[in-house]
Amino acid sequence: MEKKIKTKLGIHTTNFTGDVIDEPTLLVPYENDTSLFEVHPTLVVKPKNAEDIKKIVTFVAGEKAEDPSLSLTARAAGTGMAGGVLNESIIVDVTHMNHIKSVTTDRAVVEPGVFYRDLDTETKKLGVIMPSFPASRELCAVGGMTGTNASGEMTLTYGSTENWVKRLKIVLSDGNECEFGPLSPLELEEKKKLMTFEGEIYREMHTLLEDNYDLIKNAEPKLAKNATGYALWKVWDRKTFDLTKLFVGSEGTLGLFTEIEFALIKPKEYRKLVVIFLPNLNNLAQIVAQVLTHKPETFESYDDHTFQFAIRFFPDIVKSLKTGIVKLGLSFIPEVFMVLRGGFPKLVLLAEFTGDSEEEATKKAEVAFADLKQFPVQTEIMRNQKDAQKFWTIRHESFNLLRNHGKADKTAPFIDDIIVSPEKLPEFLPKLAEVMSAYKLTYTIAGHIGDGNLHIIPLMNLRNARDRDIVMELGQKVFDLVFSFGGSMSAEHNDGLVRTPYLKQMYGDEVYRLFEETKNIFDPQHIFNPGKKVFGKGLDYVKDHIDKTY
């Protein structure tokens, strides 16, 4: 089949300008992403432009009847934690499509293989940013960010990637490239008149969304952010019809991106961090609610396990900060005395306030600080960004601290992105701790406390059959708990292999059926990223593909 694919694509002619990789040793990097899974692909293609992608899609669509195993999974930087870019057939590596086509103070137009760090460098020359970047901002690419509806620490103020994607060019399953953006009702009617596959999509999706309007609107999770399922509730409000809202977060299951247009904003230049040390969770809901009234740009957290790892592996923090160990050690003296007096805080909260001047940012922080005096917790305002950086480094390095110091155990992201409403956290967190305690795992909890999004990373030895059993047992128990609180199993990492089997449980049969219909409308032959979102391969497949050498 590999030879046939290479011949059909015309790899040795001018028909296909990208690369085709079938050498087994060169396929190895594509067997994993940052998840705990391993899946062996048959082939990797690296298109250089939209025409290459059209040829790839046309080829697979034409051969699918003869070989049902053929499919295409888009991959950019491979930093996803859900197994979303893994596939047994053909991987479409878009990293050759890495051109930044234009940047203004309002918009950036890019190809999907552009690394966020490179886009960030260019936009900052004009004093603007695309603010919905994940923690992997130095490693990830914008195609993956768009496919997963990524978000991060600035999402509290600026929202997820879906809020910043304004236009998309996509190769659909018929092999044609189409452009998508917001449409008025009149523009929608014109699109529905097209006697093409694109027109058919508009006709069928409008019917699906209109016929099930109330069901779909009621299905939207009542949360600050959500990256599970298909965001049908975002597409049509009877004023605007916008399929970009559906494509963002679809994990490449509906088509392949060729061009993305992002909106940009000018960020606040000055920052002031307030750090809150909670000895227990007694006043958590009230403290979070109180802080949110002061509108911090960012509101993050990490738990006592994370703090203990940071102290235990202090040299890593020093290395990350590129500062002297003595100087950094001295800066932590107040926190050391706090620990000696009362033990490690149960939770550390980081609320960052911003402004157009130093005075504005400081004033916001001081008002919030004064307001928090009503609670029996220790609170500090960082004097400057250097003092603040030590706490941000612990937050940002929590995953790496576990990954680098687990010895035989490795970081196992499978319950890594849950979200419940912040006001429910005081009741939710003890129940979560009770579920976790039954397995006696070492783990950390960090996350975006302002919207109730928590990243739980256990250390596990996945060579061990019992640990692989725990992944399946604990995943189900945690998701059951999350759903009972009206939460979502993913706020920003998306479904991939790890969460797709639980989508029907989260949304119910009726809404899940609409997800299946959506997939069939866009991709009737199921050539795009099979087993993700809908028509999954089941929990047995998930368990069988846990990387046993991990």
Q: pLDDT digit string (tens) for 328-349?
A: 444 554 555 455 455 679 999 9
Predicted structure pTM score: 0.93
The b-or-e profile of 436-470 (16+ CB within 10 A means b, else e) is beeeebebbbbbbbbbbbbbbbbbbebeeeebbeb
Task: Looking at the structure, tell me whether residues 251 and 128 fall in a common domain.
Answer: yes
Q: Per-residue pLDDT for the chain (550 aa), expressed as one digit of tens each?
A: 445 565 555 544 457 899 999 999 999 999 999 999 999 999 999 999 999 999 999 999 999 999 999 999 999 999 999 999 999 999 999 999 999 999 999 999 999 999 999 999 999 999 999 999 998 999 999 999 999 999 999 999 999 999 999 999 999 999 999 999 999 999 999 999 999 999 999 999 999 999 999 999 999 999 999 999 999 999 999 999 999 999 999 999 999 999 999 999 999 999 999 999 999 999 999 999 999 999 999 999 999 888 787 767 656 655 655 554 444 444 554 555 455 455 679 999 999 999 999 999 999 999 999 999 999 999 999 988 888 988 888 887 766 666 665 567 888 999 999 999 999 999 999 999 999 999 999 898 999 999 999 999 999 999 999 999 999 999 999 999 999 999 999 999 999 999 999 999 999 999 999 999 999 999 999 999 999 999 998 999 999 999 998 6
What region, left, alpha or beta, does residue 43 occupy, with left being phi > 0 and alpha being psi -120 to 50 degrees? beta
Please indicate, yes or no, if residue 181 is contained in any of the structural domains.
yes
Task: Looking at the structure, tell me whether residues 303 and 390 fall in a common domain.
Answer: yes
Angstrom distance (rounded) from CA 422 to CA 535: 32
Task: Looking at the structure, tell me whether residues 195 and 229 fall in a common domain.
Answer: yes
Of 263, 279, 298, the position where a domain reaches its end is: 263
Task: Looking at the structure, tell me whether residues 224 and 364 fall in a common domain.
Answer: no
Of 220, 240, 263, the position where a domain reaches its end is: 263
**Which residues are registered as beta bridge partners of 350?**
275, 300
Express each pLDDT in 477-532 by its tens digit: 999 999 999 999 999 999 999 999 999 999 999 999 999 999 999 999 999 999 99
Please indicate, yes or no, if residue 86 is contained in any of the structural domains.
no
* E strand residue ranges, 279-368: 298-303, 347-355
Domain that holds residue 140: 100-263
Angstrom distance (rounded) from CA 235 to CA 217: 10
Task: Looking at the structure, tell me whether residues 306 and 201 fall in a common domain.
Answer: no
Please indicate, yes or no, if residue 485 is contained in any of the structural domains.
no
Number of domains in the chain: 2
Task: State which amino acid sits at residue 423.
Answer: E
User: What single-letter DSSP state applies at residue 141?
Assistant: B
Task: State which amino acid sits at residue 386.
Answer: K
How confident is the model at residue 385, as a pLDDT? 86
Express each pLDDT in 11-47 by its tens digit: 444 578 999 999 999 999 999 999 999 999 999 999 9
Q: Pick from 161, 101, 117, 53: which is nearest to 527 by CA?
A: 53
Q: What is the CATH number of the domain that holds 141?
A: 3.30.465.10
Angstrom distance (rounded) from CA 524 to CA 544: 27
Please indicate, yes or no, if residue 173 is contained in any of the structural domains.
yes
Express each pLDDT in 209-253 by its tens digit: 999 999 999 999 999 999 999 999 999 999 999 999 999 999 999
Task: Looking at the structure, tell me whether residues 243 and 307 fall in a common domain.
Answer: no
Angstrom distance (rounded) from CA 14 to CA 521: 33
Task: Looking at the structure, tell me whether residues 148 and 205 fall in a common domain.
Answer: yes
